[in-house]
Amino acid sequence: MEYGNSIAEQREQFGNRSMNQVDFINGKTRLFGIVGDPIEQVRSPEMVSWEFQQRHHNAVLIPIHITQNDFNDVIPDIMRIHNLDGLIFTIPFKVKAIKFAKTLGPQASLVQAINAIKRQSNGDWRGEIFDGVGCVEAFKRRGIALTDKRIQLIGLGGAGSAICVAVAHERPSLMRLFDLNERSTEQMTKLVKQISPKTTVEVGIPRCDDLDILMNASPVGMLSDARLPLAAKTFDKNLVVFDAIVMPENTPLLLLAQNCGCVIVRGREMMLGQISRLVDYFLSP
Amino acid sequence: MEYGNSIAEQREQFGNRSMNQVDFINGKTRLFGIVGDPIEQVRSPEMVSWEFQQRHHNAVLIPIHITQNDFNDVIPDIMRIHNLDGLIFTIPFKVKAIKFAKTLGPQASLVQAINAIKRQSNGDWRGEIFDGVGCVEAFKRRGIALTDKRIQLIGLGGAGSAICVAVAHERPSLMRLFDLNERSTEQMTKLVKQISPKTTVEVGIPRCDDLDILMNASPVGMLSDARLPLAAKTFDKNLVVFDAIVMPENTPLLLLAQNCGCVIVRGREMMLGQISRLVDYFLSP
């Protein structure tokens, strides 16, 4: 019997075909995930995987769709996958996820919520939240200063609290806070005063007649929710309007602001602002 | 205040960068995985992900490293990830994995082992084994007929049983079977006689002096194991030698066969032979 048999021939026929076409995943690839419900709208799989590629780190970030009923059971077992090094948590898991972190980073300690968890070299899982950092970074990339500005922040959940703390570090002249949960507004009022003693802090129904910047970090306006997070028919064109919501890209709030000629800053920019910091965090020991 | 604000400008600055660079994963990506211990040597992540890309199906196959102690607890929870549609099982999980399948395909029913499981449209998980199909396909791609050949098969574990059944369907003239487990040789003898009544079946210590094709499906020779799966110093150059082992690519058996001028067929070819069938299976309802 005679058949073609050289290694080179076999490589030609079987090997190179697949090996060279897909270079983003193999047996040595490290896993990261974003956990949410729903999951289809998330943007971090392509953004974070792209950042890993730029840094020549063999890793991907995958979407992980887990329902609220399954969350508490399934996450601890996913954390037992040996080649999984970190997770991002998105809606509705930002507050619930904190129990899986053995230690907390500085931002997460302040706001008691996390949006990322990673396995440290000693095996322990550490949590941190990057939404605030991402929001401030988005404003920096646009060249819009927060220092000495008059700011209204609506919504003090996981992301909102993180944004509140990060913005306070920029020392605005006024921070007016609104949340349905009074404990949240009290805690954040105290924190802002600690971080930036010269900032005036007010609590109450959101207004925008005397503002430089309006920020929404509440879920009002998400997906098919047609509501505005505050009562308003029009905005002064000098108002800057930010919305932390990623989906839809143009929330009802941002559409109104655009119609009034305002500068808008989108949730996607907050996400992009935190990608590089998140990957720094994931790849640190 | 005046800042650049058009959607086109924002896309330019923030959007396209990441969106266009990574097009293999996003929030809508469906997940498949290969589960093993160790995992770094597996080839299916790039092979199967490549096949998904060729078929324009938004899915990736990721490596999942789970230890033997964690296997029984962790797999059921991984199967609760809603965007995960299938798993491949490799060493050492091919026989243990069968319990997670609610129903079995025809090959798996015969050999009582699976190497793949998938979520059906009714929500039930169905198991099947493709190693046998892949082995026969590898020989076909090389133009080497199995019909009327004298064949020795060493090893009747999960993969070996599947190979035994698939080869029997090709109606060889002789099948000589060897496994340390006598129940396996008895069961497979019965099966071969059912599938191909004219095939002579023998059981006993492996020999190769009177053969056309020698097949190893035992783990002897895997990784740094320097042993041969049978006592042999040399092979006739007309013997065709197949090894189901994927790592190393050149097992001690294949190296000896190559030195003797034999045609060899590698484990990687068996894997490639089953990729397309596996993906058909994963993507069927």
Q: Note the pLDDT tens digit of each residue in B176-192.
A: 999 999 999 999 999 99
Rg (CA), chain A: 22
Asked if the Cβ–Cβ distance from B27 to A40 is below 8 Å, we say: yes
Q: Is residue B145 pLDDT above 60, yes or no? A: yes
Show residues of chain A in contact with B13, CB under 8 Å. Answer: 141
Share of chain B above pLDDT 70, in %: 93
Closest residue on chain B to A83 (Cα): B65
Residue with tokens 């308003």: A232
The reported pLDDT for the residue numbered A15 is: 44
Helix (H, G, I), strand (E, B) or coil at B34: strand
CA distance B28 to chain A (A): 5
Q: Is residue B20 pLDDT above 60, yes or no? A: no
> Pairing mode, if any, of strands A125-128 and A240-243?
unpaired
Show residues of chain A in contact with B26, CB under 8 Å. Answer: 43, 45-46, 63
Closest residue on chain A to B82 (Cα): A65
Helix (H) or strand (E) holding B193: helix B182-195
Of the partner residues A65, A82, A238, the one whose CB lies closest to the CB of residue B1 = A238
Q: Is residue B33 pLDDT above 80, yes or no? A: yes
The reported pLDDT for the residue numbered A10 is: 39
The reported pLDDT for the residue numbered B5 is: 39
Helix (H) or strand (E) holding B154: strand B150-154
Tell me the average pLDDT of chain B.
91
Asked if the Cβ–Cβ distance from A50 to B22 is below 8 Å, we say: yes
- Closest C-alpha among A103, A155, A111, A165 to residue A134: A165
Q: Is residue B2 pLDDT above 90, yes or no? A: no
CA distance B281 to chain A (A): 19
What average pLDDT does the segment B134-154 reach?
A: 97
DSSP string, chain A: ------HHHHIIIIIHHHHHH--S--TT-EEEEEEESS-TT--HHHHHHHHHHHTT--EEEEEEE--TTTHHHHHHHHTT-TTEEEEEE-TT-TTGGGGG-SEE-HHHHHHT--SEEEE-TTS-EEEE--HHHHHHHHHHHTT---TT-EEEEE--SHHHHHHHHHHHTT--SEEEEE-S-HHHHHHHHHHHHHH-TTSEEEESS---TT-SEEEE-SSTT-TT----SS--S---TT-EEEE---SSSS-HHHHHHHHTT-EEE-HHHHHHHHHHHHHHHHH--
Closest residue on chain A to B261 (Cα): A5
Show residues of chain B in contact with A70, CB under 8 Å. Answer: 77, 80
**β-sheet bridge partners, residue B87:** B33, B117
Structure tokens at B251: 């097992």
Asked if the Cβ–Cβ distance from A268 to B240 is below 8 Å, we say: no
How many CB contacts within 8 angstroms connect chain A with chain B? 188
CA distance A96 to chain B (A): 18
Band (B18; pLDDT cuts 50, 70, 90): very low
Structure tokens at A133: 């950092």
Q: Alpha-carbon distance A144 to A121, whole Å? A: 38
Classify the phi-psi angles of A223: left when phi > 0, otherwise alpha if psi is within -120 to 50, otherwise beta: left
Show residues of chain B in contact with A80, CB under 8 Å. Answer: 66, 70, 73-74
Instruction: At A73, give phi and psi (nearest 5°).
Output: -80, -40
Quick one: how far is CA A81 from the chain centroid? 24
Mean pLDDT lowest among A213-222, B21-30, B100-109: B21-30
ipTM above 0.85, yes or no: no
Asked if the Cβ–Cβ distance from A26 to B46 is below 8 Å, we say: yes
Q: Alpha-carbon distance A145 to A197, whole Å? A: 19
Structure tokens at A107: 């931002």
Closest residue on chain B to A63 (Cα): B27
Helix (H) or strand (E) holding B91: none
Asked if the Cβ–Cβ distance from B29 to A45 is below 8 Å, we say: yes
Asked if the Cβ–Cβ distance from A82 to B66 is below 8 Å, we say: yes
Structure tokens at A217: 């970090």
CA distance B115 to chain A (A): 17
Q: Alpha-carbon distance A247 to B86, whole Å? A: 29
Show residues of chain A in contact with B10, CB under 8 Å. Answer: 266, 269
Q: Is residue B6 pLDDT above 50, yes or no? A: no
The reported pLDDT for the residue numbered B21 is: 54
Cα distances from B78 to residues B4, B64, B122, B126, B179, in angstroms, run 45, 10, 18, 15, 34
Show residues of chain B in contact with A151, CB under 8 Å. Answer: none
Asked if the Cβ–Cβ distance from A81 to B66 is below 8 Å, we say: yes
Q: Alpha-carbon distance A79 to A252, whole Å? A: 38
Cα distances from A196 to residues A105, A134, A170, in angstroms, run 20, 19, 8
Mean pLDDT lowest among A39-48, A201-210, B13-22, B238-247: B13-22
Share of chain B above pLDDT 90, in %: 80
Of the partner residues B13, B39, B266, the one whose CB lies closest to the CB of residue A83 = B39
* Residue A147 near residue A172, CB atoms below 8 Å: yes
Asked if the Cβ–Cβ distance from B50 to A74 is below 8 Å, we say: no
In tens, the pLDDT along B252-285 reads: 999 999 999 999 999 989 988 999 899 999 999 8
Please return the burial class of A95, using the count of CB atoms within 10 Å of its CB with bins 0-12, 13-18 and 19+.
middle
Band (B10; pLDDT cuts 50, 70, 90): very low
Cα distances from A17 to residues A256, A265, B9, B46, B244, in angstroms, run 52, 44, 39, 10, 20
Peptide bond connecting A229 to the previous residue in cis, omega within 30 degrees of 0: no
Mean pLDDT, contiguous 10-residue spans, chain A (285 residues): 39 42 87 96 91 94 97 97 97 89 94 94 95 95 97 94 96 97 95 97 93 96 93 96 92 97 95 92 93
Asked if the Cβ–Cβ distance from B263 to A1 is below 8 Å, we say: yes
Proportion of chain B in helix, strand, coil states, percent, rounded to 5: 35, 20, 45
Residue with tokens 């042999």: B232
Closest residue on chain A to B2 (Cα): A263
Contacts with A97 (C-beta within 8 Å, 6 or more apart), sequence order: A35, A75, A87, A89, A113, A114, A115, A117, A127
Show residues of chain A in contact with B263, CB under 8 Å. Answer: 1-3, 5
